[in-house]
Amino acid sequence: MATRSAAPNRWALLIVAATCMLVAACTDPPTGPRVESTGPAEHGACGMSGPTLAELAERRGKTIGTAYRSTFAETDPCYGIVAATEFNSLTTEIGTMMNTIEPAPGVFDFREADAVADVAARQHRDFQIHALIWDPLDQPQWAIVPPAIRALPPPQRHQLMTDTVTAILHRYAGRASTVTVVNEAFDQMGHLQPTAWWQTTRSDQYIFDAFRAARLADPHAQLFYNDHSAETHSDKSNAIYDMVKRLHDTTVDVDVDGTTESLPLIDGIGFQAHMLGGEGQQPSVPDMAANLQRFADLGLKIRFTELDVRIPVVNGTATAADLDRQRDVFRTMTTLCLDQPQCTGITLWGFTDKRSWITDYPDTFSGYGAATPLTTNYQRKPARDGIAEALQEN
């Protein structure tokens, strides 16, 4: 399905911006120098000016999106304004993770996912669903798979998996352009991880079953496999390549608007792109470009799905050299996508250092932070210029 893109609803933004100025700015004022605003009034209220990233990306035929949490916008209007203005695509940050959307077997809570879908629809933004089938074994404290679901016997857990995929895709059919069906199935050596989902078939069969359920539930949605640390050639990206090739070679007959069509199980591959911005920590750009190309050659779409660039920080503060290198990494990743015709766009995993999983989990990323293009006060960092510069290059 084509991604939707259009200018945001200016009136809605203006109303929220007024609220921002009257209410939020009192509790959480955007600080720092105000740049002369060349855009609508609401931009300046939250530290923005000039063409938005969304406008620049649309000229290049790409989406530029962000992970989005509706509850943040409730208490921090600039979060909502900047997200809906700077970006033309919103992805559920937690709304479609199993512990949010199905806290107990067969018990659904669509509130957060609905809220993100509603914001995207109101602002005429693309809407994407993230990480339906995922069990991050390295982060057990997140409890993404609710305990009562993990405790189900494997056959019932497998049935729940396909039922869950079906229920969520039915609900958002016609609204979600893109869905991460399975996330992080492989370890760094390219072995399938023994997740709660793998245990249901003890092979990659569960992945094929999840994608088949998704395709049957919404034949229009773009179905993606997603993983981290696979941006270059490696044992991991080789294993992913082998699997997505077989997924793409496998077809299923579906009813598309009254006509039976034979469609591949998968449309695309998402590279999370959680990058490092410290000195000497960047992967080879030609290696990344060649790796993207081999997936593109399979006929798959490509996205950077969770781009952020964490840099060394001391008490939350980074050096100018690291901020500059961070700008270069954001620019490089943006250019990689622009240079790859199969790349549909980029999603940032948060856009302000006030709200980022990197800073939410300081123990995981000890000594690193400041991973997004805007400061905690929504001021532009060099990183934001890096994205904009790449989008404006020919």
Q: Which residues bind ligand XIL (CB under 6 A)?
A: 93-94, 130-131, 142, 183, 272, 306, 357
The residue (of 91 and 342) whose beta carbon lies closer to ligand XIL is 91
Q: Quote the CA–CA distance of 360 and 344 in Å, as a whole number.
A: 28
185 contacts 207 by C-beta, under 8 angstroms? yes
102 contacts 109 by C-beta, under 8 angstroms? yes
The residue (of 183 and 200) whose beta carbon lies closer to ligand XIL is 183
State the catalytic residues: 306
The residue (of 130 and 384) whose beta carbon lies closer to ligand XIL is 130
CB neighbourhood size of 293 (10 A): 13
137-145 own/partner pairs: CB under 8 Å, 24+ apart: 137/193, 137/194, 137/195, 139/364, 142/99, 143/99, 144/97, 144/98, 144/99, 145/98, 145/99, 145/195, 145/196
CB-nearest residue to ligand XIL = 357
What is the token pair recorded at 110? 């669509």
The residue (of 116 and 388) whose beta carbon lies closer to ligand XIL is 116
Give the nearest distance from C-beta 264 to ligand XIL in angstroms: 23
Q: Quote the CA–CA distance of 49 and 153 in Å, as a whole number.
A: 55
Q: What is the phi/psi pair of residue 266, to 5°?
A: -130, 150
Give the nearest distance from C-beta 364 to ligand XIL in angstroms: 10
Give the nearest distance from C-beta 130 to ligand XIL in angstroms: 6
Q: Quote the CA–CA distance of 366 and 89 in Å, as a whole number.
A: 30
240 contacts 189 by C-beta, under 8 angstroms? no
Burial 161-187 (b: 16+ CB within 10 A, else e): bbebbbbbbebbeebbbbbbbbbbbbb
The residue (of 17 and 276) whose beta carbon lies closer to ligand XIL is 276
Give the nearest distance from C-beta 49 to ligand XIL in angstroms: 28
The residue (of 271 and 295) whose beta carbon lies closer to ligand XIL is 271
Q: Quote the CA–CA distance of 261 and 263 in Å, as a whole number.
A: 6
Tell me the C-alpha to C-alpha distance, in Å, between residue 310 and each of 272, 357, 380: 13, 11, 16
